[in-house]
Chain A
Amino acid sequence: MANETTDSKPIDMGPLKSRLADLLSGVALEWSEFRGQTRVICPSGELLKCLNAFKQSGFDQLTDLTAVDLLEYGNVNDRFEVVYCLLNIDSGMRLIAKTYLNEPDLTIPSATSVWFGADWLEREVYDMYGIIFAGHPNFKRLLLPDDFQSFPLRKDYPVKGRGERHNFPVITRAES
């Protein structure tokens, strides 16, 4: 197996890091890199401040927003990881911002005020993981029925489900 990678050309992250250090003085950001992709871990308490600072430093598009349940991952202290994939349209620079959450407090601020494209993505994360985005304008499930009880992408939810599908209420023509 070769170890060459198919990375795009490296972009100098130095100016961005110093700009963010100015904007976010006092917030501890943890930087890392893998195959040319820059990642940054933000403290969940300062998340909205961080996201606003990212937007100010040129990341004008939220490409993706998702979460990972780290329950069975091993060697980690936190339960949930929320991932923001950001993109600077003009320079093509990408940044992956992460934050960690633990039960019982699964509430983080919504990013809809920063990028309105976060709307459905946040609803999907809630749908699948039960993470609550405070300040979202229309917060409800996206894909699953509103009365669904579980959060299926959590690792403690079985792949075969819990029989919800067989227990869906049947509405007859006379009742409808």
Chain B
Amino acid sequence: MPLELLDSPDLDADKREGLWTLNFGPQHPATHTTLRLVLQLDGEMVIDAEPDIGFLHSGFEKLGEVLDFNQYVTIVDRMNYVSPMANEIAWHHAVEKLLGIELTPRCKYIRTIFAELMRLHDHLLCLGTCVLDLGGATAFMYAFNERETIYEICERASGQRFHTSYTRVGGLLYDVTDDWVKMVKDFVRNFPKVYRDFSGLVMKNRIFVERTRDVGVLSREEAIAGGATGPTARASGVTRDLRRDEPYLAYDDFDFDVCASQGGDCYARFQVRMMEMLESIKIIEQAIDKLPKGPIFAGETGKAGMPDKKEVYRSIEGLIHHFESVMPNRQMPCPKESIYAATESPNGELGYYIVGDGTFRAYRARTRPPSILHFALFSKLIRGCMLSDVAAVLGSINIIAAELDR
């Protein structure tokens, strides 16, 4: 196929002759979840790709209009299930901005530590599984072994490994213990060694490098106009990171770098993710050393959020407080306004557009997942690549179908 054809998505009928169509997914190991691609191929070269999504659509946004601000956290958990707590933090960040709640320093620090742990969680899976798709099973095991430790840290804090539902409006479900602090410190101490091994296995692996270099190139202009954010945009030279540009939680207190690359190809995207992991460790290290003491719930007496469970079961005041915070006719009033608030999730900008109607429920709870804009770029990225590059490109933009379809 001559190269000029690649520029026009609408091929003439006669030129279409000789092309063949391949259905990729919705069940395929390299799609990880249920994505479907209809590929137009000339031999092994991809001429066009049409993504078909919606297989995992489960009406999350409709549920967001039925459940209250605290209940809906169990649903947002399930959007990007690779880094569940990042969704919770983003959701309650938006709710708190709408309600005008300022968090306590301890809560901010704990959430920041979890947000960065989730970034590691997500990047390890993204890199690990992509290497697996490209034929290297060893690095995958290294990544998943490390993810297991993060699961244990989540479990210690919230009682759940996976769908933690840990944040609450104005605070957290439970305070963390000294045990947990020790676990995080151990993790931070051990991680660089694993990182060295993992990095050596992946980024210096000749097969990996050759299969990802100059594959799926995204230019800076396309990244901006197409709405790409996070590592995908930063790998194309867009040096924007909400943690630095619109500091939320405790990010203002820490010293870290924004990682970017100019390459725009799959390798650059993996490189940015690798570098970000080290920055995350840097942030966790600073945060865990300076973890402030004090209450985890906002408000003068901690009344802005849910009471401590111990209080609920052991004192009448705690029970009344719990009652006041869960009964629909007694909950905190919410302004009749709308807000868009976003956080830097591992995959990019995860935003929520919330419309409040005066009750403690969202009138409209729009999720702006990074995946949907990244996957819309997919057909641009894959044109002109080989069939075997589909797995590399899919892996490098880290599409999570559950947050794509919601």
Residues on A close to B: CB < 8 A? 1-8, 34-35, 37, 39, 60-64, 66, 68-69, 72-74, 83, 85, 89, 92, 94, 96, 115-117, 119-121, 124, 128, 141-145, 152-153, 159, 161
Contact = CB atoms under 8 A, between A and B. Distances in A.
B366 interface: yes
A153 B227 contact: no
A60 B224 contact: yes
Nearest to A68: B364
B355 A68 contact: yes
A4 B102 contact: yes
Contact of B351 (A64, A119, A144): A64
Given A68-B363, A83-B338, A121-B373, 16 more contacts: A1-B299, A2-B299, A3-B100, A6-B96, A34-B337, A37-B339, A63-B351, A63-B368, A68-B338, A73-B363, A85-B351, A115-B226, A144-B54, A153-B61, A159-B62, A159-B63
Given A73-B363, A85-B368, A120-B376, A1 B304 contact: yes
B102 A64 contact: no
Most buried by B among A34, A63, A69, A128: A63
Say whether chain A's binding surface is mostly helix, strand, loop, or mixed: loop
B246 A92 contact: yes
Contact-residue size bin, chain B (C-beta under 8 Å from the other chain)? 35 or more
Interface string B63-90: 1011000000000000000000000000
Interface of B: 53-54, 57, 59, 61-63, 65-66, 93, 96-103, 224-229, 238, 240, 245-248, 298-300, 303-304, 332, 335, 337-340, 342, 349, 351, 353, 355, 357, 363-364, 366, 368, 372-373, 375-376, 405
Given A66-B353, A85-B368, A115 B225 contact: yes
A115 B377 CA distance: 12
Given A6-B248, A120-B372, A62 B340 contact: no
A144 B324 CA distance: 39
A124 B225 contact: no
9 contacts: A37-B340, A64-B353, A83-B366, A85-B340, A85-B353, A94-B340, A117-B373, A143-B54, A153-B62
B238 A89 contact: yes
Nearest to B373: A117
Contacts of A72: 363
A2 B102 contact: yes
A63 B342 contact: yes
Contacts of A4: 100, 102
